Structure 1
């Protein structure tokens, strides 16, 4: 916007009192109104200063005041006629001496209208520029330009910071690094806001990239450099959707071929691998799925997208039971940690859908089918857990670890059958047999240590353990019977839950 544009605007009805062609071509960065005796705190370079001449008490005031405006880098002056009924000649002379163009505003045009006009025209110019830039970006993307180049291009043009993220927190492109807490805040807004665009607690504007469910969508987060800047992110989101959809189409084609013509997972000797089995369950009595997820089939596809996003090198298929089965490079602990963290982020968008995920490491020389079976057992156990996303690992390097892969319902049924008579006896007689058994097993079967820990006579411990053996039909001197009772006690005390 130039001074000439303000002068030529018919709705403002301005009159030029001083200024040549060069003066009128000056760029107007903003319009400010002030009548303070010292205007310098309110005037920035490129400002068009609107004044009602309240500061003018005598003719000599004009040269001092206009000199201060010129020294502050003002682009020009708009003088109002309301106070004097005209523009005094000394004001015109001062503007001529200090090289500032002078416009006269009629009494019927308030300074606020001039400010609004500049804002509207600036927004229109920026809008046309952004539209042109968006068209250029689409052409560049079609020609194969990288999305990070387009994000950087947009951010520089609009004076903003911008990021493109997936629903699980992968940063596709961005102008600067994001911390995990920042990613969490962005996705919490993206996946829970009633509608998008929305603004995060950190004043980032979040737009959805891609229609449909919020799990397979991407998100554009924009931080403007100043509150008044409108980044026009919808245009960049539309461009980014071309990139997202193109990548999604290639991935879905690969999945369709893999599911239609299933093949064994590749055997990669010497590589540390983990198997993942993910089950999708519909919760009864609640709406099934978040936005765009009406049923389990749609959710399974969305979760498959999320899993591939979290673990880029994973190979997946859908087995005969409708479970998502995959194999990825990495240790069991690291894989479970990534899955728990990344799938946990999409939990708010799952609605009435629960995910039960099992992870198992492949042991040396172990067939891959055995690793997948262990992961499947862990996912079955995860069904019993609360919460929308449950991740269990198949800890099968000990008897207790193997037992944790058994579903929780079966664990409790086993414990109640083994210790049921003992619990019933304690309920009727208050004999404390179950507590004695737990202490005795914790002391590795030492009668004396158990007696000392419980502060009872040694014979009391012997009597109680004998009574337990009679009620359960187990002999605590036999290793297999002691293991049965040990697992039953741990189950009932809640110690079999995996960490």
Structure 2
């Protein structure tokens, strides 16, 4: 960095500081040098420039006025070049500089301003060369770290060689990928992820009560924001070198985060394929066993199945919050359980070996529900517990039951964990059937009603839904649909005629209810 002190240290210039009491100001950065003899150069002097003058302005303006103009422009200092006409510094000039806090430097006779400018250019080139060298060395170190598999933590380790800044890398899913010189709290990580979702993302963000943190975006190949490098210091506390190093690290982190996201996508695809294999039945048990072993799960032992989801029936998209699969894997690992975990559209499935009984399994599920909710910052995490499976070939029914239990718990109050035996409803029975069988049943029952509604522009299906939802109460249903009771009776009679199912008979009412359950109202 070019400063007055570095210029004064150049022996060939013969510079002498006349305001030693302003020593701290000698360390301020000089952006460049400005030579002037104008009585009022304030319009042309930039902030932090070093002003050079021979004092030719003295017949026109007092030293005090000139210093006021230079100091008002926020110049870094004043170099007064002695000449034969002015062989010494005017006392009023020195006093004015002390009063305004403007460093004053004397340049001896015979040394031209060009020599000072040349020396400044030489020092600036030295700085630029040093910065370039440091950037190249850091780039090589970052590349080497990533090539050795150091990941995001390796990138931060390289940065620590030059500074002790507290840093963390957080992705949009709310995962802390690495940290150094700090211990990020759950709140800090959550606030950091929230900042990445803002449009546009802030340059600084307040994380918890730790004060402002500088954000450097980690972008993907298409310019999308994948993560952020957070320096837990305000921008004002960072040097230019710090900022350059952090920006450079963020670019390298883009490569690492993109790679990790690609790996996560591949893992998710393989996990989804494994779940499909299990659901297809025992015919692919050999493939299921092979896949489970690749995840470190022994396929020939007794296996347990958990289905996790966030309990928020008002928003089905939040069944699998961002990052929850990593939280679940970490909680399972903390309990000493080596498991396969895979995310589906409605839940996260975990399959793992289990040597104890169902009671112990349910107890572990209750503990995990609370722990996952706390770590994932969710109000409530529910877990459907499947029956124990005697090996990989017997996983289909426990998996279906665990997932159906999970979905039942999502829309009910009370329990956060349950088994099939705890919640035995028609939903469980449907869960054991193939999707094709369920769709065929609903189509057989409802097709004539839907065709009639489409052809005659009626609302028989909606009428039936409301009627059954109100437990067949005629007056309540008529009031909700804004119909006369006789009109409602005519519609129900038409439904009976079309479907051959009389709502006054229990078995017919069950058929109609289940068909409507399988085909949600659109």
Q: TM-score range by the shorter chain?
A: 0.5 to 0.7
- Work out the CA distance in 1 between the residues paired with 2:482 and 2:68: 97
- Work out the CA distance in 2 between the residues paired with 1:398 and 1:219: 46
Match of 1:259 in 2: 294
Q: Secondary structure at the match of 2:163?
A: helix
Match of 1:440 in 2: 467
1:151-300 mapped onto 2 (5 Å cutoff): 154=160, 157=163, 162-166=167-171, 168-171=173-176, 172-173=178-179, 178=188, 180=190, 182-186=192-196, 200-202=201-203, 204-207=215-218, 220-221=229-230, 224-225=235-236, 229=240, 230-233=243-246, 236=249, 258-259=293-294, 262-264=297-299, 274=307
Task: Pick from 333, 340, 359 the counterpart of residue 316 of structure 1.
Answer: 340
- Work out the CA distance in 2 between the residues paired with 1:100 and 1:360: 72
- Work out the CA distance in 2 between the residues paired with 1:309 and 1:316: 13
Q: Secondary structure at the match of 1:326?
A: strand
Q: Secondary structure at the match of 1:225?
A: helix
- Work out the CA distance in 1 between the residues paired with 2:374 and 2:499: 38
Deviation at 1:173, TM superposition (A): 1.8
Q: Secondary structure at the match of 1:157?
A: coil
Q: Secondary structure at the match of 2:330?
A: coil
1:89 paired to 2:87:
yes
1:29 paired to 2:56:
no
- Work out the CA distance in 2 between the residues paired with 1:122 and 1:483: 83
Cα displacement string for residues 144-199 of structure 1 (whole angstroms, at most 9, x for unaligned residues): 9x9599679749938x774322463222326677464642443789xxxxxxxxx9
Q: Secondary structure at the match of 1:477?
A: coil
- Work out the CA distance in 2 between the residues paired with 1:242 and 1:432: 56
Any conservation in 2 of the 1:332–1:361 contact (CA below 8 Å)? no
Deviation at 1:418, TM superposition (A): 0.7
Any conservation in 1 of the 2:79–2:106 contact (CA below 8 Å)? yes
Q: Which runs of 5+ in 1 are unaligned?
A: 190-198, 277-303, 341-358, 380-393
Higher relative contact order (Cα pairs below 8 Å, separated by 6+ residues): 1
Call closer, same or farther: CA 1:405–1:148 in 2, change over 3 Å.
farther
- Work out the CA distance in 1 between the residues paired with 2:461 and 2:481: 13
Deviation at 1:259, TM superposition (A): 0.4
Q: Secondary structure at the match of 2:350?
A: strand
Any conservation in 2 of the 1:50–1:80 contact (CA below 8 Å)? no
- Work out the CA distance in 1 between the residues paired with 2:120 and 2:255: 38
- Work out the CA distance in 2 between the residues paired with 1:225 and 1:213: 31
- Work out the CA distance in 1 between the residues paired with 2:330 and 2:435: 32
Call closer, same or farther: CA 1:451–1:238 in 2, change over 3 Å.
closer
- Work out the CA distance in 1 between the residues paired with 2:143 and 2:459: 76
- Work out the CA distance in 1 between the residues paired with 2:474 and 2:508: 17
Match of 1:361 in 2: 383
Any conservation in 1 of the 2:442–2:516 contact (CA below 8 Å)? yes
Call closer, same or farther: CA 1:485–1:134 in 2, change over 3 Å.
same
1:50 paired to 2:55:
no
Cα displacement string for residues 354-412 of structure 1 (whole angstroms, at most 9, x for unaligned residues): xxxxx98234x833645533467799xxxxxxxxxxxxxx9976435875898888765
Call closer, same or farther: CA 1:266–1:238 in 2, change over 3 Å.
farther
Bigger mean CA offset, 147-156 vs 119-128: 147-156
Any conservation in 2 of the 1:2–1:27 contact (CA below 8 Å)? yes
- Work out the CA distance in 2 between the residues paired with 1:9 and 1:201: 43
Match of 1:78 in 2: 79
1:14-163 mapped onto 2 (5 Å cutoff): 15-16=13-14, 18=16, 27=27, 29-31=29-31, 33=34, 49-52=50-53, 56-58=57-59, 61-62=62-63, 77-79=78-80, 88-91=86-89, 100-103=104-107, 106=112, 120-125=125-130, 154=160, 157=163, 162-163=167-168
Cα displacement string for residues 213-267 of structure 1 (whole angstroms, at most 9, x for unaligned residues): 999x97534574379823313665699899999x99xx99xx9994076415998
Match of 1:485 in 2: 512
- Work out the CA distance in 2 between the residues paired with 1:428 and 1:156: 76
1:452-463 mapped onto 2 (5 Å cutoff): 453=480, 458=485, 460-463=487-490
Q: Secondary structure at the match of 1:421?
A: helix
Call closer, same or farther: CA 1:449–1:95 in 2, change over 3 Å.
closer
Q: Which runs of 5+ in 2 are unaligned?
A: 205-214, 272-290, 310-321, 333-338, 353-364, 390-394, 407-419
What is the CA RMSD across the aligned residues, in angstroms? 6.8
Deviation at 1:444, TM superposition (A): 1.0
- Work out the CA distance in 2 between the residues paired with 1:110 and 1:410: 89
- Work out the CA distance in 1 between the residues paired with 2:201 and 2:375: 26
- Work out the CA distance in 2 between the residues paired with 1:367 and 1:50: 83
Cα displacement string for residues 302-336 of structure 1 (whole angstroms, at most 9, x for unaligned residues): xx9994367423532689xxxx9535964399679
Q: Secondary structure at the match of 2:179?
A: strand
